[in-house]
Amino acid sequence: MSADGKKQLTFLDPEKLANNARVNDTVFQFLSIVSGVVCGILGFTDLAGFAFFLVFNVFIGAAVVAKLKFQHVHFFPSLDLIFVNGASNSLGTFVLFWTLFYNICHLF
C-alpha cells in the first residue's frame, strides 16, 4: 500500500523466485537427512519422532530466516513458502533416515 492508500503492484522476477525456492529446498532436504539421523540415534518412536521432525523444521526455517537477516519479504512473497514447502518436501527423506538409523542403533 502506498502513502495515499492505493494498492501498488510489485513486479517479481520469476527466475529469482525459482532460485530461492531451489536453495530453500536444498537446505531443507539436506537437513532432513541430519534430523532423521539424529532422531534415530536418540531412539524416538511414533509421535515423538514426528514431533521432533516438526521442531527441527521450525529450527531450520528459523535458520533460513536468520540467513536472510530477518528480511524475508525481499526474498520470498510469504513466510509459508519457507516453512511449509521446505517441510513438506523433506518428510519422506526424514522418515527414511529415521527408520534406517533407528534400526542400526537400537535393533541390530
Partner 1 sequence: RGRLVCTRHNSASMFDDPHKLASVGGFLLLAHAVSLVISYREDLKISGIEFAGVPLFVLAECLIGSLCCTWGALGFSGEFQPIAQQPRELPPDNMEKMHDFVTFNHRGTGKTRKE
Q: Which residues bind partner 1 (CB under 8 A)?
A: 10-13, 16-17, 19-20, 22-24, 26-27, 30-31, 34-35, 37-38, 41-43, 59-60, 63-64, 67-68, 74-77, 101, 104-106
Q: Give the nearer residue to partner 1 in terms of CB position, either 73 or 84.
A: 73
Which sign, positive or negative, has the C-alpha torsion 101, 33, 31, 61?
Answer: negative
d(CA 66, CA 48): 27
Q: How far is the CB of 10 from partner 1 (least distance, A)?
A: 7
CB 52 within 8 A of CB 44: yes
